[in-house]
Structure 1
């Protein structure tokens, strides 16, 4: 149900359950986490693009999976407090694990992007979205709160009052509306093509520079004095490194860089 392929050092992670609009079943949660962790340790990887099959990104949590929770409520509640080394539980890891992949992660979003699917898209570094995509932070419809790492992603993107309105109302909105709220990196009538173009463009930059830039935002955005120390530490590691020097030389010589 989760397919991963790597071509030209760019990974494509596909939600492959088109008959259900790629709604997430339990096994898909674990498969997404595994895919992220495997790619985080893949040498030479330059970018990741996440998409859904069949003209839909993800319709959220599978209804059958949701219904099955009623028969094992104690197990489900226990899993909410069992966390991994990053502090994430089984339901959060499929989203938060992408922040630990040291390359750009881009969501190509069309069709529907609801509930768990919305949180997965928010957990990516960039979202390329079709203007007509139907999107929603939907958990309030089911009497729940969004609990897949939204506290890590949404504060970087929008004001608190707007976030509370989306979370409390569970209203559905278009990709175009989402762009106006700051939730979309780029609108496109062909999200997959545009996402791949971004991936290939970023792949021309030093991998260490990209990893550092991602870490800077993930770990220190809006931070205090500790964030200044992180800026300095990341820069200290980059300055004078082979790929940083190659970036300078390639620009000066007007040629494509050759990173090690």
Structure 2
């Protein structure tokens, strides 16, 4: 059975981790499947992505059995090579979703530990079920978070929060995660809510949505004020008066939904 499935319905790609008997724990095959799924969507004709896990958990982290094999041998030879641009395979599990040019909405339930937590951080938006457990679990195994977490976490949470979670490996509930900026919204039906948000996004100008994601990524990259202001103007010039924007104006004037080519 595939570790990950991708289904596109009405311009929305539904990416599902399909290893529920293992709480969607990440082994090398799962990591490869997640990355392949993300890469397949970079040039796809889609407007949003819903990322979820089948069964009672979003993702329980690294598969313990595969972890034992992964820990053997020379760690530098295994994890230092940059196999996916500026990342290795396991870093790309989270980072590939920032390369997908449309918004990615994560639907999180049960647990999101370690690798699963960092995967969720790769999404633009995270909807979590009440009581969902979140953890930077690596310290439990004498490791540090190394799947893109240190790129993604500082954009979401305070330094003291990141340090506490990293040093202790203590799980927190989604409600605390929301207060700390790690969860966007709590909802009893996270998948349905994520789907609803994706449908809302899919009705907006496709070119403006893509421009907005590019602009936000650039603004969060540490670029200076001058560069960000120039990027705002550049992206705006790229959508203003173009077919998608003109269709939005016409639809608003006519009181109908826009229809994009």
Q: CA RMSD in A?
A: 1.3
Confirm or deny that 1:152 pairs with 2:154: no
Other-structure match for 1:65: 66
Q: TM-score, normalized by length of structure 2?
A: 0.95
Question: Can you list the C-alpha shifts for 1:94-124, whole angstroms capped at 9, x where unaligned?
Answer: 1101111111101100011100000000010
2:84–2:92 contact (8 Å) kept in structure 1: no
Alignment of 1:62-211 (within 5 A): 62-71=63-72, 73-74=73-74, 76-84=75-83, 86-211=85-210
Counterpart of 1:217?
216
Offset at residue 223 of structure 1 (A): 3.4
CA distance in 2 between partners of 1:180 and 1:59 (Å):
22
Unaligned runs of 5+ in 2: none
Give the aligned partner of residue 232 of structure 2: 231
Q: In 2, are the aligned partners of 1:107 and 1:127 still within 8 Å (CA)?
A: yes
Query: Which whole-Å CA distance do the structure 1 matches of 2:147 and 2:112 have between them?
Result: 14
Q: Does the 8 Å CA contact 2:13/2:50 hold for their aligned counterparts?
A: yes
List, as ranges, runs of 4+ consecutive aligned residues in structure 1 with deviation greater than 4 Å. none
Q: Does the Cα contact within 8 Å between 1:24 and 1:116 map onto a contact in 2?
A: yes
Which residue in the other structure is 1:54 paired with? 55
1:84, CA displacement in angstroms? 4.3
Q: Assess if the C-alpha contact under 8 Å between 1:82 and 1:90 holds in 2.
A: no
Name the structure 1 match of 2:248. Answer: 247
Moved more, 232-241 or 60-69: 232-241
SS in 2 for 1:42: coil
SS in 2 for 1:91: helix
Per the alignment, residue 7 of structure 2 pairs with: 5
Shift of 1:52: 0.8
Aligned to 2:33: 31
Does the Cα contact within 8 Å between 2:247 and 2:259 map onto a contact in 1?
yes
TM-score calculated relative to the size of structure 1: 0.95
Question: Secondary structure at 2:7's aligned position in 1?
Answer: strand
Distance in 1 between residues matched to 2:84 and 2:149, nearest whole Å: 18
Deviations 1:24-59 (CA, angstroms, capped at 9, x unpaired) = 01011111111111111112x111111111121000
Q: What is the number of equivalent residue pairs in this alignment?
A: 257
